[in-house]
Amino acid sequence: MAEASDKPKLTLRLCEPRGFCAGVDRAIQIVVLALKKYGAPVYVRHEIVHNRYVVDGLRDMGAIFVEELGDVPDDGQPVVFSAHGVPKSVPAEAQQRELLYLDATCPLVSKVHKQAMLHVKRGRHVVLVGHRGHPEVIGTMGQLPPGSVTLVESEDDVVRLTPADPEALGFVTQTTLSVDDTVGIVAALQAKFPALQAPSSESICYATTNRQEAVKAAASGADLFLIVGAPNSSNSRRLVEVAERAGALVGRLVEGVAEIPWAILGDGATVAISAGASAPEILVDAIIAAFRERFEVRLELVQTAEENENFPVMRSLRDTPLLGEDMAFVNGRG
């Protein structure tokens, strides 16, 4: 007869979906495939996605991360633009310098770019709901003529907004915002500017929405809600906020096991776990293993949606085979 465990008991609620979305997976594949096809180095303008583990893994494979195109030498090697998107001036500079570039902008971010440009084409001033300084916001604003877009971060910004023509406005949003916060801002915009035109489809991406809904479903009664992700990941930070609003006693953004606040967890505690869209599953696996070392764990799965989206890489890389071991640094195989 098996002996009873003397470890304290703990319930782990694991959110599904969590972690990588199709846009992040595509961006990482582009860098890996470029390294296979062209050899090292492959330059990447800004972090390909906001996750240190991913960036370090790609750096170990031969990627060189730079802040601007001016840091890329004319050595014939390719440069990849990050999943967050870039202003129009960036590919224009690359073309002027005859650089080989690969645009890993998430297709859903590109969709927001097109929606914003359509507003301008139809004579509307664009109101962009987003966070100042975020690479995606910089990229979206950089698609538009100077003076044709205004950034709104909060309902207070809406109160202060005084456009030249309140009858000619259209809005889009950053793809990684809190759904609940964005609803409030958009409602305030629509109340103040009844003629405001919405984009043709939802700007907040499916992955952001799905992860937030799973977190809401898992939060009630959780003593601790861990969100695996990077401090500069907008969608990960929003998940922490959603968790605490939905009932988690403590929400915490962690990059790995070392940041787990073990001292606040006692016998019978409930911990929920999710991961931002740029956090690889290998980090979640390591956290679950750490809990199993310390506790007798009862694992619960909280699933609110299934994701089957797949965004193919550009045609120039499709003839380069991607093997399981090529992605071992993020999926733990190999």
- CA nearest to 280, candidates 29, 86, 65, 60: 29
**Residue for token pair 């802040």:** 67
Rounded to 5°, the CA angle 188-189-190 comes to: 90
- Determine whether 136 is an active site residue: yes
Q: Give the residue among 105, 55, 59 at the shortest CA–CA distance from 80.
A: 105
Are 17 and 34 a contacting pair, CB within 8 Å? no
What is the DSSP pairing of strand 9-16 with strand 42-45? unpaired
Q: How far is CA 282 from CA 7, 28, 180, 268, in A?
A: 25, 15, 29, 26
Question: 76: burial class by Cβ within 10 Å (0-12, 13-18, 19+)?
Answer: exposed
Q: Indicate which residue of 47, 136, 153, 309 is catalytic.
A: 136
Give bridge partners of residue 101 from the DSSP assignment: 79
Among all residues, which ones are annotated catalytic?
136
